[in-house]
Amino acid sequence: MELLAKGWSLTALKVYGWVVLALLAAPVLLLVPISFGQGQAITFPPQHLSFEWYTELVEDPRWGRTAWLSLQVAALATIIATILGTAAAIGIARVANPKLAKVLKMLFIAPMIVPLMVIGVGLYIVFAKLGLLGAVWPLAFAHAIVVLPFVVMPVMSRLTSLDPAFERASASLGAGQWWTLVFVTLPLLAPAIIAAAVFAFVFSFDEVVLAQLLAGPRFETLPRKIYESLTQDGLDKTITSIASLQLYLVLAGLGLHALWRRRKGRHKARSLSAAASAEKLQPDLNGLPEAIPPALVPLPGKALSMKDVSTLFPAPAEQRGFGIQFQRLTKFYGDKAAVEEADFTVQPGEFVTILGPSGSGKTTLLMLIAGFISPDAGRLMLGDRDISRVPPHQRDIGVVFQSYALFPHMTVAQNVAYPLKARGIARAEQERLVKWALNRVHMGQYAERRIPQLSGGQQQRIALARAIAFSPRALLMDEPLSALDRNLRVEMQREIRSLQRELGQTVIFVTHDQDEALNMSDRVAVMNEGRIQQVATPKDLYLAPVNSFVADFFGESNLFRGVAHADTLSLGGASLPLPARKSGAAVLCVRPEVVRLDDPLAPDWAFDGTVTDARFLGSLLRMEFATPFGPMVVTRQTDGLSAAPVVGDRRKISWVPAMSHVMAT
């Protein structure tokens, strides 16, 4: 942060800071030397040192008795407040209705806002009627109520900072609601819960108002006794030793915490550097799965040749995937259809990419398949089974999330074993499957690592291993590569593809990146404004798009809108030839690479264009022309022979009509 204070004002600020620090700390620290002073007089600095005020604590049984009572009350209050507060925090966070959630939030904050004395008087009247004064349990419950906001607030704040994908991931891996709560949500909340519990304990152990009102005369807690010796008997010096003891406890707790953090930090630093060095060596030390001939496994970091990758892969060794059928699947948000009548079929073992711009409804479609939302109309079939209304944890669909959603409190092996455990698979079988899944993604030696110790690419592999470990009926991937840098992304694309083929797995892959779609898919479903526009192989999508959106979104194109009569398109007084007969409004699509410039055999409909821009894009030369029909894009392979045109040059533009494509819209 850029400092807004510099020079003398910064110095003044710092001096001020240290003065306030001293003022905050001094009164507390002062108690320690005084507690070691001899005699009744409270003097600073003490004249003679002695332990008499500490031995007094042990010798006078009243202190022990009140302390034991307070301890009981505080322990009970802590347990009650922690359990109720955690339940309330998780519960409120799950309430969908915002108005209800707000009312609940207000209610659970109220005990912090309403003065203790008011709550105390109310409870006093009620407890007096019920004969509950002067007992441990009622006082503990009263303390718990007052401290509840201090549990609910931090736990909920921690909860909202967690990735919501954790819960979804757990469900997609086959865990029910309670299982997710116990094994995922609660462990992740642990730090906040522990801090809240400590606060609850300290509060209850120090509470005077409720203790005064709700405890009978023979029921004396430690703070109440301290309070009474402060106000009535003058100053009882024993309090200095009690306060000092509390200070020692706090300092000991602080020291332990610091020690624990340092150890954890060192541990983390060590394993991080190990991870980094291991990653460099990765190509050499990968334990390759034996079932697959080594040549077929694209090694990380080593690029395959530019030949058609698909010819390298044999038919799938296994056929695990099920087919998925979308039957006019529809989902509304309010009046707007987020997904409208999605109607297509994914074959078993097929790799289908759902491609669309953001807001096109592809995420909603994915959530429908995974089962986190339910369709308003239509059906979704997985194999022969209608899964439209099946909860996500019973769908057996592996999901790889954009954020990976690997559980940070578990090791790699525990993460991969999670879906197996949720299905109650025997331990030995679990171990075998974890090993199998990790080897499939070349992460065999990382089983005992913790998730934060892994790089992005490694996490991606583990997420994949976790999703295939339970042999799901289909795999769903939500932009899983978007967090990786370009080189790693291309490598992972290849690996995911090869894994999918080996396993014969059905994959639905969601992305907004058309290169990714082109690289990986058997077929691509292009989506826009909630509708599936076209489902086709990449080649068909490019050469025969069904409409101008697909033509424009999937690769670059020059579109001419006009009216078709037989095999010509009339627009603005001119006419262009069509590749097929058509009538009515039509759009002609001409891809940039099929446009010919100054063709000696140019037909008579050829028209002039002026170069407005020419750019060198590596293997391509990209030119923009101003033409009577509007701007056009033309690309050429850069072969080093033809000279690039200069801005302002005029060229005759034409193409072979058979290479163009005509659409209705």
Partner 1 sequence: MAQIEIADGVGRLKPSGPAQTTAWDLQRRRLTLSLMIPPMAVMILLFAAPILVLVWMSFGGGSTDADPFAGYRALLQPVYLRLLGFTLQLALTTTLICALLAYPIAYLMVNIESRFTQWMAITLFIALWLSFLARTFSWIIILQRRGVVNNFLVGTGITDQPLELVYNKLGVYIGMVHILLPFMVITLIPAMKAIDPAYVRAALSLGATPAKVFRQIYLPLSLPGLVAGSMLVFTLAFGFFITPAILGGGRAPTIVLAIRDQIQQLGNLQLAAATSMVLLVICLGLLIAYDRVSGVDKLYDRGGR
Binding to partner 1 in span 334-373, by CB under 8 A: 334-335, 341, 371-373
**Residue with structure tokens 């070349």?**
442
- Smallest distance, partner 1 to C-beta of residue 239, A: 6
Name which position in 202, 299, 425, 544 contacts partner 1 (CB under 8 A).
Answer: 202
Question: By CB under 8 A, is residue 30 in contact with partner 1?
Answer: yes
With contacts defined by CB under 8 A, name the span among 102-110, 423-431, 479-487, 644-652 that binds partner 1: 102-110
Of 574, 592, 595, 597, nearest to 649 (Cα)?
A: 597
Name which position in 47, 231, 232, 305 contacts partner 1 (CB under 8 A).
Answer: 231
- Smallest distance, partner 1 to C-beta of residue 480, A: 23
**What are the distances in angstroms from CA 513 to CA 357, 481, 482?**
9, 10, 9
Name which position in 38, 72, 246, 627 contacts partner 1 (CB under 8 A).
Answer: 246
Of 55, 25, 52, nearest to 36 (Cα)?
A: 52
Is the Cβ of residue 326 or residue 446 nearer to partner 1 in the bound state? 326
Alpha-helix runs per DSSP H in 521-643: 538-543, 548-553
Question: By CB under 8 A, is residue 197 in contact with partner 1?
Answer: no
**Residue with structure tokens 């694309």?**
493
3-class secondary structure, 14:
helix
Residues 77-96 that bind partner 1 (CB under 8 A): 80, 83-85, 87-88, 90-92, 94-95
Tell me the DSSP string of 376-400: SEEEEEETTEE-TTS-GGGS-EEEE
Q: Is the alpha carbon torsion for 113, 115, 118, 119 positive or negative? A: positive
With contacts defined by CB under 8 A, name the span among 97-105, 313-321, 487-495, 647-655 that binds partner 1: 97-105
Q: Is the alpha carbon torsion for 449, 455, 456, 458 positive or negative? A: negative
Edge-to-edge strand ranges of the sheet holding 650-654? 596-597, 650-654, 607-617, 620-627, 630-637
Question: By CB under 8 A, is residue 509 in contact with partner 1?
Answer: no
Question: By CB under 8 A, is residue 181 in contact with partner 1?
Answer: yes
- Smallest distance, partner 1 to C-beta of residue 137, A: 11
- Smallest distance, partner 1 to C-beta of residue 330, A: 6
- Smallest distance, partner 1 to C-beta of residue 404, A: 22
Q: Which amino acid is at 509?
A: F
Name which position in 57, 67, 75, 116 contacts partner 1 (CB under 8 A).
Answer: 116
Interhelix angle for 222-231 vs 61-94, to 10°?
A: 120
- Smallest distance, partner 1 to C-beta of residue 528, A: 19
Residues 149-168 that bind partner 1 (CB under 8 A): 152-154, 156-158, 160-161
Residue 25 structure tokens: 């700390």
Question: By CB under 8 A, is residue 28 in contact with partner 1?
Answer: yes
Question: By CB under 8 A, is residue 247 in contact with partner 1?
Answer: yes
Residue 330 structure tokens: 């529809």
Is the Cβ of residue 1 or residue 641 nearer to partner 1 in the bound state? 1
Task: Kindly state the greatest CA–CA separation across the chain.
Answer: 118
Q: Which helix (H) or strand (E) holds 607?
A: strand 607-617
Is the Cβ of residue 209 or residue 397 nearer to partner 1 in the bound state? 209
Q: Which residues contact 568 (CB under 8 A, 6 or more apart)?
A: 575, 576, 577, 578
Name which position in 62, 264, 267, 389 contacts partner 1 (CB under 8 A).
Answer: 389
Name which position in 50, 62, 65, 102 contacts partner 1 (CB under 8 A).
Answer: 102
With contacts defined by CB under 8 A, name the span among 207-215, 493-501, 553-561, 647-655 that binds partner 1: 207-215
Of 298, 373, 355, 299, nearest to 477 (Cα)?
A: 355
Question: By CB under 8 A, is residue 399 in contact with partner 1?
Answer: no
# of chain residues touching partner 1 (CB under 8 A)? 123
**Residue with structure tokens 């994915």?**
366
With contacts defined by CB under 8 A, name the span among 199-207, 268-276, 430-438, 578-586 that binds partner 1: 199-207
Give yes or no for a contact between 210 and 143, defined as CB atoms under 8 angstroms apart.
Answer: yes
Question: By CB under 8 A, is residue 259 in contact with partner 1?
Answer: no
Residue 148 structure tokens: 């509840």
Name which position in 192, 412, 420, 447 contacts partner 1 (CB under 8 A).
Answer: 192
**Residue with structure tokens 């900072």?**
161
Question: By CB under 8 A, is residue 253 in contact with partner 1?
Answer: yes
Question: By CB under 8 A, is residue 252 in contact with partner 1?
Answer: no
**What are the distances in angstroms from CA 217 to CA 60, 91, 130, 236, 479?**
19, 39, 17, 20, 67
Q: Which amino acid is at 405?
A: A
Residue 471 structure tokens: 């042999």
Give yes or no for a contact between 195 and 154, defined as CB atoms under 8 angstroms apart.
Answer: yes
Give yes or no for a contact between 577 and 544, defined as CB atoms under 8 angstroms apart.
Answer: no
Is the Cβ of residue 158 or residue 651 nearer to partner 1 in the bound state? 158
With contacts defined by CB under 8 A, name the span among 101-109, 477-485, 552-560, 597-605 that binds partner 1: 101-109
Question: By CB under 8 A, is residue 50 in contact with partner 1?
Answer: no
**Interface mask toward partner 1 for 289-328; x: CB under 8 A:** --------------------------------------xx
Q: Looking at the DSSP assignment, which residues form a beta bridge with residue 627?
A: 630
Is the Cβ of residue 28 or residue 276 nearer to partner 1 in the bound state? 28
How far is 563 from 561, CA to CA, in rounded Å?
7
With contacts defined by CB under 8 A, name the span among 28-36, 433-441, 569-577, 649-657 that binds partner 1: 28-36
Residue 522 structure tokens: 């058997």
Name which position in 73, 74, 188, 239 contacts partner 1 (CB under 8 A).
Answer: 239
Of 412, 472, 480, 474, nearest to 448 (Cα)?
A: 412
Name which position in 49, 251, 259, 647 contacts partner 1 (CB under 8 A).
Answer: 251
- Smallest distance, partner 1 to C-beta of residue 544, A: 28
Give yes or no for a contact between 569 and 563, defined as CB atoms under 8 angstroms apart.
Answer: yes
CB atoms within 10 A of CB 604: 5
**Interface mask toward partner 1 for 2-21; x: CB under 8 A:** xxxxx------xx-xxx-xx
- Smallest distance, partner 1 to C-beta of residue 44, A: 5
Name which position in 57, 112, 136, 544 contacts partner 1 (CB under 8 A).
Answer: 112
Question: By CB under 8 A, is residue 376 in contact with partner 1?
Answer: yes
Name which position in 38, 177, 455, 638 contacts partner 1 (CB under 8 A).
Answer: 177
How far is 289 from 317, CA to CA, in rounded Å?
14
Question: By CB under 8 A, is residue 464 in contact with partner 1?
Answer: no
How far is 559 from 578, CA to CA, in rounded Å?
12
